[in-house]
Amino acid sequence: MRESGHDGPGHIAISDGRPILRGLGVYHGKRGAGISVEFSVKHGPVTILGVTQTADGKLKLLAAQGESIAGPRLQIGNTNSRLKFSLEPAEFMDAWCEQGPTHHVALGIGHEIGALKKFARLAGLEFAVIG
């Protein structure tokens, strides 16, 4: 199991519960004030999708399927989910980072690798699946 950190902005339709409006003394790493909406994604199957690029500058998709699970999570004012993948955390992160990911990913409910693979093929994009 691993904490996914912040997943970024979220859609209330995939929230596991009522969102929390959290006041922040440090807002995205900067001193000052701000507020943010915090929630976690519904428990169950999820897919993460990242967009990166190949060494020759072409777009590349990077994805993994896992589970959103119950448990403690960071209270940092962002969409924040506890995710479990088929690989152990260190093995997953090594495999993910070997693909040259960017900082953010999209996190959606359901296992969607099949649909993403079809899209990548139709769009002529390289597609890497972790796990």
- pLDDT band, residue 3 (cuts 50/70/90): very low
| CATH code for the domain of 20 | 3.20.14.10
- How much of the chain exceeds pLDDT 70, in percent? 86
User: What range defines the domain where residue 53 resides?
Assistant: 2-130
Per residue in 34-80, pLDDT (tens digit) is: 777 778 889 999 999 999 999 999 999 999 999 999 988 777 777 77
Residue 32, pLDDT above cutoff 90: no
Please answer whether residues 34 and 106 qualify as being in contact, where contact means their C-beta atoms are separated by less than 8 angstroms.
no
**pTM to 2 decimal places:** 0.82
Query: Cα–chain-centroid distance for residue 112?
Result: 13
Mean pLDDT of the region 115-123: 98
User: How many structural domains does the chain have?
Assistant: 1
